[in-house]
Structure 1
């Protein structure tokens, strides 16, 4: 109880602070997801980004961009056009890099089991250098091609946010039902196992049911127990 009270105080303190992000508010495409998490006592968000296309100007080591020591030439959470990028590149003095960054969501969780619900990682990004020491190293046609890819990733990112929201909402609702009726869940699993065991024995009807294959039937995985909250290809 003491740990929960401490977490609640920490949550209230963090959510009560001013938004210090560049935009100063939660992105529209992720606002509903942030509201869902902050509405649950076991979570609160510390920062978020719905996904963005940006152009950074910096001295880079290889392909690694240090955003703390760079100039933001362009940033948008909407589809981007070539003219905007070309205009922004004229301000570049160092090594400009075009990036697409997908959904970023930082969440504090009360317990480890709460964090496991949110354990999702994506490599849905893009990072391409365009200039070196202020000199454009690619053609405008190539920039147009890159933006087509980046904009497609932006649209796919929105679909993934919606899918993640729906999966998370379903998982939290199921968790609430389990907390309210834990005994019923145990009975349901027990009945499910009994029915499946009976079906497996019926499938084996007509065969010699030895001690070995009888144990194999009993050790079959129950599909209702091994449920994946989020699909593997998320």
Structure 2
């Protein structure tokens, strides 16, 4: 457990390597909430953004924009206007897509159960090609429609971040209470003892059966035995 704490300290001491160079304001409360707990460490985050990304026009059959090979003609963490997009498109020389990317958060967790607490995924995104080799392939009317859709997604994204923060705060408090509950600890110990006794009885029955057939037993491997007990507890 100490190793996780050391890794977390080293990670949080690193300089911010993102293009923005700092934490998004909307993502800050969630990031601070998690980093304030010993069992979690955030590694990267984005509160959500609208991007005009330009990639290579070498492959006309592929609309995949590789992050390392793309240029951002425009990026904003707020809603935008058609004029913002049209002005950015004037600089286009390759294939350009309009993307809305929702809130994303990457977190290191001390144990699997901690990761399960945070397991949330979303399909709340948008990616539409607008130009090819610098030539606009859609009408301005369609771009205006896309901006309307993207802005609505951005507004919904903000609501989802707030909702996620509130739910996470409650979940963390509940998890802490459960971990510190004497009754829960007693119950877990009782289950362990019960299963350990059952395993001992089963092992005794096996020993007795083998002795009746005059077969010599091999010494029991402690590691395998412990793993078997652990598997029973997990089941």
- C-alpha distance in 1 between matches for 2:184 and 2:40: 26
Partner of 1:8: 5
CA RMSD of aligned residues (A): 1.4
Q: Indicate the structure (1 or 2) with the bigger Cα radius of gyration.
A: 2
Runs of 4+ in 1 over 4 A off after TM superposition: 184-187
Partner of 2:49: 52
> Does residue 33 of structure 1 match 2:52?
no
> Does residue 109 of structure 1 match 2:109?
yes
Partner of 2:19: 22
- C-alpha distance in 1 between matches for 2:181 and 2:20: 43
Partner of 1:218: none
Partner of 2:97: 97
Q: When the two structures are superposed, what TM-score results if normalisation uses the length of structure 1?
A: 0.76
> Does residue 73 of structure 1 match 2:56?
no
- C-alpha distance in 1 between matches for 2:131 and 2:185: 59
Partner of 1:179: 179
Partner of 1:150: 150
Aligned residue for 1:156, secondary structure, equals helix
- C-alpha distance in 2 between matches for 1:26 and 1:98: 23
Residues paired across the two proteins, number: 184
Q: Deviations over 1:48-94 (max 9, x none)?
A: 00000000111265232112101110000000111111111111111
Aligned residue for 1:14, secondary structure, equals helix
Aligned residue for 2:26, secondary structure, equals helix
Aligned residue for 1:48, secondary structure, equals strand
Q: Deviations over 1:87-140 (max 9, x none)?
A: 111111110000000011000001000000010000000000000000001111
Q: When the two structures are superposed, what TM-score results if normalisation uses the length of structure 2?
A: 0.76
- C-alpha distance in 2 between matches for 1:49 and 1:82: 23
Q: CA deviation at 1:184?
A: 6.1
- C-alpha distance in 2 between matches for 1:65 and 1:53: 15
- C-alpha distance in 1 between matches for 2:186 and 2:137: 63
- C-alpha distance in 1 between matches for 2:184 and 2:2: 29
Counterparts in 2 of 1:185 and 1:156: CA distance versus 1, 3 Å: farther
Q: CA deviation at 1:149?
A: 0.3
Aligned residue for 1:158, secondary structure, equals helix
